[in-house]
Amino acid sequence: MRIAFLGLGIMGKPMAQNLVKAGHELKVWNRSPGKVVEGAHSASTPKEAAKDAEIVWLCVSDTKAVEEVLLGSNGVIESLKPGTTVVDSSTILPDASLKFAEQVRAKGADFVDAPVTGSKVGAESGQLIFIVGAREETFEKLQPLFSVMGKSAVRVGANGKGLAAKLSMNLMIALTYEGFAEALVLAKKQGVDLKPLLSLINQSMVRSGVVDYKAPFVMARDFSANFPMRLMHKDIHLMLEAARQNGVKLPGLETVDKVYESSTREGNADLDYAATLMTLEKAAGVR
Ligand code: NAP
């Protein structure tokens, strides 16, 4: 298929690369020059990339970025043709996504929110999970592309529902990792050796995918970004805003938000969100 892929960050670049490897014809675009995908044509604007594309796929940071890429000057909307499908894998507010969907549909194209889970490792290995809000027939049409970039795709409901589900799942990731990090700090401060503790965690009911993914990085003290703290903090703000809009109280998440604020003040925003551990260590006087 002819696919425009917009946003070649930690997630977007390997996703686009996997589409090229599967034989699709790609035009890619990234805001800052210099990011390219082997085997793909690089376009100079989103408008140019989207011209003649059957599918336009976005994976950029936040709501403002999606708005600029879609609706800004030289944006996708300027060359969008009826029959095209726009798929957005960025994590943004469901409300904002619904407004983008309306504007895309007004051009005779279709719109899908398809945020992902699986992080950098999942994107590189084609093992992402797509969490989808879409019309059923559009979801079915996209299956071959989901299966190139991911191990599964689940349609949660109509537009916006993929993002609503994604925010709820990321809430669990933020809280689970915080629980893991706090447990490590408390154990270490009490003089517990962390190797047997990790073995215990992995044998017991507190084992989790979050711990499986993060523990090797934490034990190696590798806090380079798989999922940058600035993006998880952005997601925490999206969750709190979605909670406010829907009359839900999230006291655990409000507390975790404060840890992220401290860690950001300490200069950790571009590190992985696992670096919140260093903020807890600092407060406890332990490493
Ligand atoms: P990233 O490495 O920071 O890349 C962000 C991308 O967005 C870059 O291509 C960046 O362009 C572009 N961008 C930012 N602001 C823009 C703007 N105003 N206009 C146009 N492009 C703009 O982020 P990522 O990790 O790939 O994440 C992308 C999305 O996936 C985010 O919504 C994130 O929350 C979500 N996500 C990430 C992970 C993960 O583990 N990393 C997992 C699941 C979901 P430049 O190169 O010019 O900065």
Mutate to test the pocket of ligand 1, among 231, 270, 271, 273 (most ligand atoms within 8 A of CB): 231
- Report the C-alpha gap between 181 and 201 in whole angstroms: 13
Find the catalytic residue in 13, 51, 166, 214: 166
Q: Is the C-beta atom of 31 inside 6 A of ligand 1?
A: yes
Angle CA(169)–CA(174)–CA(177) in degrees, nearest 5? 120
What is the per-residue pLDDT across 97-108, written as a single tens digit (0 to 9) for each?
A: 999 999 999 999
Last residue of a domain, one of 157, 172, 189: 157
Which tens digits make up the pLDDT trace of 190-240?
999 999 999 999 999 999 999 999 999 999 999 999 999 999 999 999 999
CB atoms within 10 A of CB 10: 16
Q: Which residues pair with 4 in a beta bridge?
A: 27, 56
> In this structure, are 217 and 80 located in the same domain?
no
Q: Are residues 107 and 240 in the same domain?
A: no
| CATH number of the domain enclosing 86 | 3.40.50.720
Strand partners, 272: 228
Whether 173 is in the pocket of ligand 1, judged by its Cβ within 6 Å, is no
| Range of the structural domain that residue 261 is part of | 164-284
Question: Domain containing 204 — which CATH number?
Answer: 1.10.1040.10
Q: How far is CA 106 from CA 52, 78, 89, in A?
A: 18, 12, 21
SS3 113: strand
Does residue 10 have its Cβ closer than 6 Å to ligand 1? yes
CB 225 within 8 A of CB 280: no
The phi and psi torsions of 61 (rounded to 5 degrees) equal -65, -55
Does the CB atom of residue 230 touch ligand 1 within 6 A?
no
Same domain, 180 and 103: no
Same domain, 149 and 18: yes
Domain identity same for 17 and 148 = yes
Strands 25-29 and 116-117: unpaired
Atom of ligand 1 nearest to the CA of 62: 32
Rg (CA), the chain: 20
Q: What is the pTM of this model?
A: 0.96
- Report the separation in Å between the CA atom of 138 and the middle of ligand 1, taken as the mean of its atom positions: 24
Query: Is 166 one of the annotated active-site residues of the chain?
Result: yes
Task: Tell me the pLDDT tens digit for each residue of 5-16.
Answer: 999 999 999 999
Which tokens sit at 205?
């009911």
